[in-house]
């Protein structure tokens, strides 16, 4: 009897693990298959958390909700438009600088190879690379033939289309946020306290994360722009904007944002005191804000294990690409808050976080 009972328990455990695995596979498949819809919807949710406090603030000054929403829409559309203008303007200037960059790159490579008694041509011949005179017009002809430029324009058009889908979802979500929360509490009347605590936790923590992260990223971008402008680096405003955007991607975003201006400085001025000083200032800026300022303000709100943050970054980056990387930390925080308010899932919430005492209490 006991052997049969033990085998039944093992069979049930094995079945539950198998069903769990199948559920996870189906869940991942749905995330990938419906990416075009789910990414704008998820972005709209987090934009709702970002701008809903602003709508409530404007309502204190007797602004109607519809007027507050219109003002915010104009603000977001204006930023989106200015970013597009900045990208297009810098792209045109960058093409004009390609000739100079290619010449400086050749000199830079020669400086590196000279201790080994090698030339750029000799290295190029080793890898069967042609080293004719660099020609910008022929480069763009080749890019056009390869379909790269067409893909860039189609990607931009796709982003524009996604923006309008996101905007539509966001309008409905932000207008009905309070009503949805009340309906959710009413739907689970027997567990109203738990639902209310979960909603308040998600509101407080996600709003704090998104607002503080936006402020710190903007500050980092502004400081980077000022540093690059003082050093006379090309496209200072563009690199500052890129820093602001990439800082929303945990871990690797700040590395990429720091690397690009340093490469441009190398192409402009080579290895020297100017480039080394610039690199030092950019790295110090990222480290102070990333390792001291952000943890100070976000530490109490976002209790997430660095390992879990990295796992979330890899998973959502694989599922949804770059948008998934931006959303990885807010999604991880929402999952942890949700799990911490459901008794059977609390152990998972503890594993996802750093502190044990707060969850257990």
Highest average pLDDT, of 74-78, 172-176, 222-226, 254-258, comes from 222-226
What local confidence, expressed as pLDDT, does residue 54 receive? 82
What residues does each domain of the chain span?
Answer: 1-33, 36-175
In terms of Cα–Cα distance, which of 264, 249, 315 is closest to 90?
Answer: 264
Spatial separation of the C-alpha atoms in residues 215 and 220, rounded to whole Å: 9
Contact 344, 194 (CB under 8 A): no
pLDDT at 223: 92
191-250: pLDDT as tens digits: 777 777 777 777 777 777 778 888 888 999 999 999 999 988 888 888 888 888 888 887
**Structure-block tokens of residue 254:** 């700040």
Note the pTM of the prediction, 2 decimals.
Answer: 0.72
Question: CA 337: distance to chain centroid?
Answer: 20
Please say whether the beta carbons of 220 and 289 come within 8 A.
Answer: yes
Place of tokens 């943890």: 295
pLDDT given at position 226: 92
What is the pLDDT at residue 318? 87
Please write down the HEC assignment for all residues of 286-344: HHHHHHHHHHHHHCCCCCCCHHHHHHHHHHHHHHHCHHHHHHHHHHHHHHHHHHHCCHH
CA atoms of 258 and 90, how far apart (whole Å): 18
Q: For residue 292, give the DSSP letter.
A: I
pLDDT for the residue numbered 140: 45
d(CA 9, CA 185) in angstroms, rounded, equals: 37
pLDDT digits (tens, 9 = 90+) for 122-168: 655 655 555 554 444 444 445 444 454 445 455 455 555 567 778 88
Q: Tell me: the pLDDT tens digits for 259-314?
A: 888 888 887 777 778 888 988 999 998 888 887 887 777 655 566 777 888 888 88
pLDDT in tens, 2-16: 555 556 666 676 777
- Is the distance from CB of 158 to CB of 151 less than 8 angstroms? no
Q: Are 341 and 197 in contact (CB under 8 A)?
A: yes
């Amino acid at each position: 009897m006991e052997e049969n009972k033990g085998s039944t328990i093992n069979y049930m455990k094995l079945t539950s693990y198998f069903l769990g695995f199948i559920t996870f596979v189906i869940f991942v498949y749905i995330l990938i298959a419906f990416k075009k819809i789910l990414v704008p919807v998820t972005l709209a949710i987090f934009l709702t958390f970002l701008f809903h406090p602003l709508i409530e603030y404007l309502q204190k000054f007797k602004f109607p909700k519809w007027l507050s929403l219109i003002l915010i829409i104009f603000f977001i559309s204006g930023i989106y438009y200015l970013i597009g203008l900045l990208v297009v303007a810098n792209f045109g200037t960058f093409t004009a600088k390609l000739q100079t960059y290619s010449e400086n790159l050749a000199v830079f490579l020669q400086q590196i190879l000279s201790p080994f008694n090698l030339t750029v041509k000799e290295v190029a011949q080793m890898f069967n690379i042609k080293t004719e005179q660099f020609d910008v017009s022929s480069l763009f002809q080749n890019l056009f033939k390869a379909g790269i430029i067409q893909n860039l324009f189609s990607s931009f058009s796709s982003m524009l289309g996604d923006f309008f889908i996101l905007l539509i979802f966001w309008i409905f979500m932000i207008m009905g946020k309070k009503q949805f929360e009340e309906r959710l509490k009413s739907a689970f009347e027997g567990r109203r306290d738990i639902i209310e605590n979960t909603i308040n936790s998600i509101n407080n923590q996600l709003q704090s994360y998104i607002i503080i992260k936006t402020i710190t990223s903007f500050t980092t971008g502004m400081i980077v722009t000022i540093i690059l402008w003082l050093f006379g680096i090309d496209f200072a405003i563009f690199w500052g904007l890129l820093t602001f955007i990439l800082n929303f991607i945990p871990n690797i975003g700040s590395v990429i944002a720091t690397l690009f201006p340093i490469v441009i400085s190398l192409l402009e001025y080579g290895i020297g005191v100017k480039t080394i000083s610039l690199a030092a200032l950019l790295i110090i800026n990222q480290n102070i804000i990333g390792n001291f300022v952000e943890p100070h303000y976000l530490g109490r709100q976002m209790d997430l294990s660095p390992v879990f943050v990295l796992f979330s970054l890899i998973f959502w980056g694989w599922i949804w690409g770059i948008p998934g990387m931006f959303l990885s930390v807010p999604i991880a925080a929402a999952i942890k808050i949700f799990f911490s308010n459901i008794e059977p899932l609390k152990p998972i919430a503890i594993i996802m976080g750093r502190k044990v005492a707060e969850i257990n209490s």
